[in-house]
């Protein structure tokens, strides 16, 4: 029984991380029409910045106070995103999609190498944060309170994002721009600013995912590319451009992964792609994707 | 430790001629500075061009980085003495193995055909040596792989090598070494769980570990298998699954950043309190990649090759000198890849010098190859022998239990726990049939173990 409970929590933690990444990916695509290949690398960057700042502050601040450095990864990535959109991406909106894929893929390579240049190849960790919150006993098996807290962060982020997009004036402008960029511009909406902020917000969420993962796992080279592939499976299932799709897709992918790991190890990887293929066959735009 | 356990251990070690603890090499080292004989004949002063492909980016940089640094250290040392045969300096072109197998093959062709390299070295991945080996033979470029240790390379891909050699131990030795280490330290384990990266290396480790352990201990039962994708960092579901099957022992070939992420999660999920843990590559990357929070008493594998504290400084000064020079050059301690890449270049130097003494002038590749076949060299890891029949390097396999010792800000081996196994005890002998020749096991080693190792007695 305790195994089931812990596996459910494991699955929810993984889903929270996947949701943050996939929601950012979907938001950027939904508003700007760009498939951001560098999105996984923003996630990695968030992980590295958080690990680095927590390690730098570890001697100075008490363990629990280190949590103030956790969002630093997300903030740093958002700032970088806000700088990249007007300087780099803006030049490619009018060009065919393959240019956008190429430029974001190039960005992925540049970011991966920059990470290695700045932080080297040694895995970075921030496990002090996990230890400072202690362990919960679930039927005799320990479970880190930190992971539980981060599932909460994932839920809050999902709610906040929903409220932001559907309940604020900015959200209205965002959705208007997503539906018809020219009409929005003609109505006097500063489309350039909306694009920058949407990209920055998407990057913030990727950075936040990296920041919450790094204390429980580690920041390692290549982690961005690894997660990018799984996030694409999530958005393929949920529908690229849809936030609800990102949430449902993340829950399906993580639950399926946990179930196959526990009961049918051989098909752990195959199962993910199989379900993505089935969704694509039945609903090519994904479960919540708009028909184009 | 109880008396019965002690006796069981002695039994194991005797069976393999293996040793436990800091003993091991019999003779004191001979030191690095052999008085080299004066080169014969006319040596051109044109540099020797070397190609080196290794992982410079991505997760496997943890292995490739030290390999590159080991190579550069050897190159600098040799060049500081005036170069090969006192005349020819070494110039190396590096390329990133992370570009993928096809790109590596193209790069090797480019290095040979347009850069005119004299020697090719490096390569970490077992996916790449079987692709590069046949190309090296076709291009006739002398090749010293320093890893990519799959049995498949010389069992099947290049069964009769002429130009291709490999210095690190054969892959099947890795799983077998972990099995002997586990059986030596924990003879009571019966229920085995396995966590392996889902590619050829993980499959090889699991197969040879379970095969060997099944011969060493009675009543071995595999109760849980997990095959995470290489590059996975979320292991929580795998860990919970392993815990749900109540094993006595976990064997894992997970390595690099994946291993760091794994042990951090396993620690907080209480996995190390519930079972013994044996690994093949926990100490395979840079030593400082593993934190002090790593549990003690884990069988911390080094790919059955080399850990910088063994052989100990008093018994084997060659290692002491190498570790000191490497540390002062790179401000870190060497890994088994650093040792492999370093030794590969010195092996080449030794063969060139010997061939020069015989034929004079700069020797042809054929003469260098003749000197490499059956060569022995005193390496930092101990004696390394290159078998003439399959061009494969053999040295005693080692593993040990992790411990935090003062003086290092990362865990190292407990000196008393180091198991050193003569390589001939765990690898198929030269004339043993290769897969497809009278048996269909995955490796010659697997067939040899199945047919010749006595079954464990209860």
Chain B residue with the nearest C-alpha to that of A144: B268
Each residue's pLDDT tens digit, A214-265: 999 999 998 999 899 999 999 999 998 899 999 999 999 999 999 999 999 8
Q: How many whole angstroms separate alpha carbon A70 and alpha carbon A68?
A: 6
Contact B243 A218 (CB under 8 A): no
Q: How many whole angstroms separate alpha carbon B234 and alpha carbon A253?
A: 14
Chain A residues whose C-beta is within 8 A of a chain B C-beta are 3, 6-7, 10-11, 13-14, 17, 112-113, 116, 121-123, 125, 127, 130-131, 135, 141-144, 147, 213, 216-218, 220-223, 225-226, 257-258, 261-262, 265-266, 268-269
Chain A / chain B CB contacts < 8 angstroms: 120
> B108 lies in which domain range?
48-169+314-394
Strands, sheet with B164-166, edge to edge from the N-terminal-most edge strand: B90-96, B48-54, B119-122, B143-145, B164-166
The pLDDT-based confidence of A58 (bands split at 50, 70, 90) is confident
Which residue among B258, B260, B268 sits closest to A144, beta carbon to beta carbon?
Answer: B268
Tokens of residue B8, six digits: 């069981």
B309 Cα distance to chain centroid: 15
Q: How many whole angstroms separate alpha carbon B161 and alpha carbon B145?
A: 12
Chain B residue with the nearest C-alpha to that of A218: B261
User: What is chain B's length?
Assistant: 458
Which chain A residues are closer than 8 Å to B59 by Cβ?
220-223
Q: Read off the DSSP letter of residue A265.
A: G
Residue among A218, A225, A264 with most chain B CBs within 10 A, to mutate? A218
In a domain, B67, yes or no: yes
Q: What is the mean pLDDT of residues A72-81?
A: 97
Which chain B residues are closer than 8 Å to A268 by Cβ?
198, 227-229
Which chain A residues are closer than 8 Å to B286 by Cβ?
121-122
CATH code at B103?
3.40.50.2300
Which chain A residues are closer than 8 Å to B65 by Cβ?
121
- pLDDT for residue B33: 47
The pLDDT-based confidence of A267 (bands split at 50, 70, 90) is confident
Chain A residue with the nearest C-alpha to that of B246: A3
B395 three-state secondary structure = coil
Do B178 and B264 fall within a single domain?
yes
Which chain A residues are closer than 8 Å to B58 by Cβ?
112, 221-222, 225
Do B226 and B370 fall within a single domain?
no
- pLDDT for residue B29: 37
Q: Where are the domains of chain A?
A: 17-220
Contact B57 A113 (CB under 8 A): yes
Q: How many whole angstroms separate alpha carbon B185 and alpha carbon B417?
A: 8
Which residue among B226, B236, B260 sits closest to A13, beta carbon to beta carbon?
Answer: B236
| Helix B172-185 with B444-452: angle, nearest 10 deg | 40
- pLDDT for residue A290: 75
Do B242 and B361 fall within a single domain?
no
Which chain B residues are closer than 8 Å to A218 by Cβ?
233, 257, 260-261, 264
Task: Show which of residues 250-289 on chain B sit within 8 Å of chain A, judged by CB atoms.
Answer: 256-258, 260-261, 264-265, 268-270, 286, 288-289
Q: What is the mean pLDDT of residues A62-88?
A: 93
DSSP conformation letters of A215-230: TTS-B-TTHHHHHHHH
Do B121 and B200 fall within a single domain?
no
Q: Are B179 and B280 in contact (CB under 8 A)?
A: no
In a domain, B368, yes or no: yes
- pLDDT for residue B36: 65
In a domain, B24, yes or no: no
| pLDDT per residue of chain B (458 residues) written in tens, 0 to 9 | 456 666 666 677 777 888 887 655 544 333 344 556 789 999 999 999 999 999 998 888 899 999 999 999 999 999 999 999 999 999 999 999 999 999 999 999 999 999 999 999 999 999 899 999 999 999 999 999 999 999 999 999 999 999 999 999 999 999 999 999 999 999 999 999 999 999 889 999 999 999 999 999 999 999 999 999 888 999 999 999 999 999 999 999 999 889 999 999 999 999 999 999 999 999 999 999 999 999 999 999 999 999 999 999 888 999 999 999 999 999 999 999 999 999 999 999 999 999 999 999 999 999 999 999 999 999 999 999 999 999 999 999 999 999 999 999 999 999 999 999 999 999 999 889 999 889 999 999 999 999 999 988 76
Query: What does residue A51 show for φ and ψ, rounded to 5 degrees?
Result: -60, -45
ipTM: 0.93
Contact B236 A147 (CB under 8 A): yes
Contact A221 B61 (CB under 8 A): yes
Q: How many whole angstroms separate alpha carbon B142 and alpha carbon B109?
A: 13
Distance from the A183 Cα atom to the nearest Cα atom in chain B, whole angstroms: 44
Do B376 and B244 fall within a single domain?
no
Distance from the A250 Cα atom to the nearest Cα atom in chain B, whole angstroms: 15
- pLDDT for residue B28: 38
Distance from the B173 Cα atom to the nearest Cα atom in chain A, whole angstroms: 25
Which residue among B228, B233, B236 sits closest to A220, beta carbon to beta carbon?
Answer: B233
Task: Show which of residues 420-439 on chain B sit within 8 Å of chain A, judged by CB atoms.
Answer: none
Domains held by chain B: number? 2
Do B76 and B157 fall within a single domain?
yes
Which chain A residues are closer than 8 Å to B258 by Cβ?
220
Contact B237 A266 (CB under 8 A): no
Do B410 and B281 fall within a single domain?
yes
Do B62 and B163 fall within a single domain?
yes
Q: Are B179 and B222 in contact (CB under 8 A)?
A: no
Cis peptide leading into A10, omega within 30 of 0?
no
């Amino acid at each position: 029984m305790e195994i089931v409970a812990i596996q459910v929590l494991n699955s929810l933690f993984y889903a929270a991380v996947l949701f943050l990444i996939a929601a950012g990916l979907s938001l950027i695509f939904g508003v700007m029409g760009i498939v951001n290949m560098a999105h996984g690398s923003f996630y990695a960057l968030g992980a590295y910045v958080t690990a680095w700042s927590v390690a730098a502050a570890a001697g100075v601040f008490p363990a629990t106070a280190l949590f103030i450095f956790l969002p630093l990864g997300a903030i740093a990535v958002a700032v970088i995103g806000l700088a990249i959109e007007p300087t780099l991406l803006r030049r490619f909106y009018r060009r065919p999609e393959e240019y956008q894929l190429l430029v974001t893929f190039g960005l992925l390579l540049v970011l991966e190498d920059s990470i290695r240049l700045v932080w080297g190849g040694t895995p970075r960790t921030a496990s002090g944060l996990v230890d400072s919150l202690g362990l919960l006993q679930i039927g005799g098996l320990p479970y880190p309170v930190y992971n539980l807290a981060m599932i909460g962060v994932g839920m809050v982020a999902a709610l906040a994002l929903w409220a932001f997009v559907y309940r604020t004036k900015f959200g209205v402008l965002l959705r208007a721009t997503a539906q018809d960029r020219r009409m929005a511009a003609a109505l006097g909406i500063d489309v350039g600013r909306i694009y920058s902020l949407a990209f920055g917000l998407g990057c913030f969420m990727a950075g936040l995912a990296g920041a919450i993962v790094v204390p429980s796992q580690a920041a390692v080279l290549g982690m961005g590319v690894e997660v990018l592939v799984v996030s694409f499976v999530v958005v393929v299932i949920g529908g690229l451009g849809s936030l609800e799709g990102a949430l449902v897709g993340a829950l399906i992918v993580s639950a399926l992964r946990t179930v196959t790991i526990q009961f049918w190890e051989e098909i752990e990887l195959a199962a993910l792609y199989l379900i993505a293929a089935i969704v694509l066959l039945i609903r090519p735009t994904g479960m919540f994707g708009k028909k184009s | 430790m109880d008396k019965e356990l002690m006796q069981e251990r002695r039994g194991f070690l005797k069976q393999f001629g293996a040793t436990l603890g800091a003993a091991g090499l019999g003779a004191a080292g001979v030191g690095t500075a052999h008085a080299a004989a004066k080169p014969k004949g006319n040596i051109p002063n044109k540099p020797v061009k070397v190609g080196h492909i290794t992982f410079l980016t991505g997760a496997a940089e943890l292995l490739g980085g030290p390999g590159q640094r080991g190579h550069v250290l050897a190159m600098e040392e040799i060049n500081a003495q005036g170069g090969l045969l006192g005349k020819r300096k070494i110039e190396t072109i590096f390329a990133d193995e992370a570009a993928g197998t096809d790109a590596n093959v193209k790069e090797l062709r480019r290095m040979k055909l347009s850069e005119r390299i004299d020697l090719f070295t490096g390569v970490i991945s077992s996916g790449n040596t079987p692709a590069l080996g046949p190309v090296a033979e076709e291009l006739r470029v002398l090749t010293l792989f320093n890893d990519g240790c799959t049995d498949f390379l010389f069992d099947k891909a290049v069964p009769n090598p002429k130009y291709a050699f490999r210095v690190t131990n054969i892959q099947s030795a890795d799983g077998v070494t972990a099995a002997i280490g586990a059986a030596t330290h924990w003879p009571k384990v019966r229920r085995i769980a396995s966590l392996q990266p889902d590619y050829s290396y993980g499959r090889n480790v699991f197969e040879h570990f379970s095969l060997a352990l099944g011969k060493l201990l009675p009543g071995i039962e595999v109760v849980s298998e997990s095959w995470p994708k290489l590059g996975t960092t979320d292991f929580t579901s795998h860990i919970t699954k392993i815990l749900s099957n109540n094993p006595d022992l976990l064997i894992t070939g997970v390595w690099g950043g994946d291993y760091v992420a794994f042990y951090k999660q396993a620690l907080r999920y209480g996995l190390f309190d519930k079972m013994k843990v044996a690994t093949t590559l926990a100490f395979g990357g840079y030593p400082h990649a593993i934190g002090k929070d790593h549990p003690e008493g884990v069988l911390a594998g080094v790919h059955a090759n080399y850990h910088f504290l063994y052989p100990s400084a008093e018994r084997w000064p060659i290692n002491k000198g190498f570790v000191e020079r490497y540390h002062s050059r790179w401000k870190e301690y060497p890994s088994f890849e650093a040792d492999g890449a370093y030794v590969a270049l010195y092996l080449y130097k030794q063969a060139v010098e010997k061939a020069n003494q015989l034929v004079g002038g700069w020797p042809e590749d054929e003469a260098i190859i003749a000197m490499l076949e059956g060569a022995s060299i005193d390496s930092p890891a101990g004696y390394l022998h290159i078998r003439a029949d399959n061009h494969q390097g053999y040295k005693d396999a080692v593993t040990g239990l992790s411990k935090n010792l003062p003086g290092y800000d990362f865990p190292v081996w407990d000196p008393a726990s180091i198991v050193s196994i003569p390589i001939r005890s765990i690898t198929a002998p030269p004339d043993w049939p290769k897969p497809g020749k009278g048996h269909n096991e995955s490796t010659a080693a697997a067939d040899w173990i199945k047919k010749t190792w006595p079954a464990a007695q209860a």
